């Protein structure tokens, strides 16, 4: 083949385009090597503004405190500020995630149903959900609760026949 196949990262600052890089050359099968080169160039230009954070599968301090102070005989009201802290720190992906796994509200006597609108509003605000997404999340939570709390009927079970 004709032409140069050398991978070159061009800095376009001399063209008046600061922090713009251009990549030329290289076969597609070297994309991982090229990605490392680009990452190195970008890293030279970017200075982190926050402390380095490592992903965690564990609970935040707020959730740990909630879990440790929960009692089956005491109904806990969790403030919007605590909810916001959990949402920001733990990044729950759904209402079921925050109500069942993060706060345990979904295990209350009413399965968290009374808290759903309020928690959905806070989640929508912080996660950028529109009204349609908020309604869908509430619907999915109620469906999930129905599935986990309903009595299963098994074919051939003499109790259910």
At residue 114, the pLDDT reads 92
Average confidence (pLDDT) over 131-155: 87
Structure tokens at 3: 């032409």
The verdict on 133 and 69 lying in the same domain is yes
At residue 66, the pLDDT reads 66
Is 159 part of any domain? no
Is 98 part of any domain? yes
- Cβ–Cβ contacts within 10 Å for residue 4, how many? 9
Is 54 part of any domain? no
Backbone torsions φ then ψ of 110, nearest 5 degrees: -100, 20
Is 105 part of any domain? yes
At residue 126, the pLDDT reads 93
Name which residue leads in pLDDT, 7 or 120. 120
Average confidence (pLDDT) over 125-144: 95
Structural domain containing residue 68: 61-149
Question: d(Cα 138, Cα 145) in Å, to the nearest integer?
Answer: 11
Structure tokens at 144: 């999930």
Map the chain to HEC letters.
CCCCCCCEEEEHHHHCCCCCEEEECCCHHHHHHHHHHHHHHHHHHCCCCCCCCCCCCCCCHHHHHHHHHCECCECCCCCHHHHHHHHHHHCCCCHHHHHHHHCCHHHCCCCCCCCHHHHHHHHHHHHCCCHHHHHHHHHHHHHHHHHHHCCCCCCCCCCCC
The verdict on 39 and 105 lying in the same domain is no
At residue 27, the pLDDT reads 74
C-alpha torsion angle, residues 100, 104, 108, 111 (rounded to 10): -10
Is 160 part of any domain? no
Question: 138-148, pLDDT tens digit by residue?
Answer: 999 999 998 88
The verdict on 66 and 134 lying in the same domain is yes
Specify the number of domains making up the chain: 2
């Amino acid at each position: 083949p004709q032409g140069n196949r050398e991978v070159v990262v061009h800095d376009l600052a001399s063209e008046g385009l600061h922090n713009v890089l251009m990549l030329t050359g290289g076969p597609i099968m070297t994309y991982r090597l090229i990605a490392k080169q680009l990452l190195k160039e970008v890293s030279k230009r970017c200075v982190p503004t926050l402390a380095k954070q490592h992903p965690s599968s564990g609970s935040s301090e707020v959730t740990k405190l909630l879990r440790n102070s929960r009692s089956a005989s005491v109904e806990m009201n969790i403030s919007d500020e605590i909810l916001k802290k959990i949402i920001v720190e733990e990044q729950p992906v759904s209402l079921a995630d925050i109500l069942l796994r993060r706060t345990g509200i979904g295990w209350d006597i009413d399965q968290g149903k009374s808290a759903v609108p309020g928690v959905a509003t806070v989640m929508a605000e912080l996660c950028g959900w529109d009204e349609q997404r908020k309604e869908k999340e509430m619907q999915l939570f109620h469906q999930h609760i129905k599935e986990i709390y309903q009595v299963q009927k098994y074919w051939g079970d003499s109790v259910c026949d």
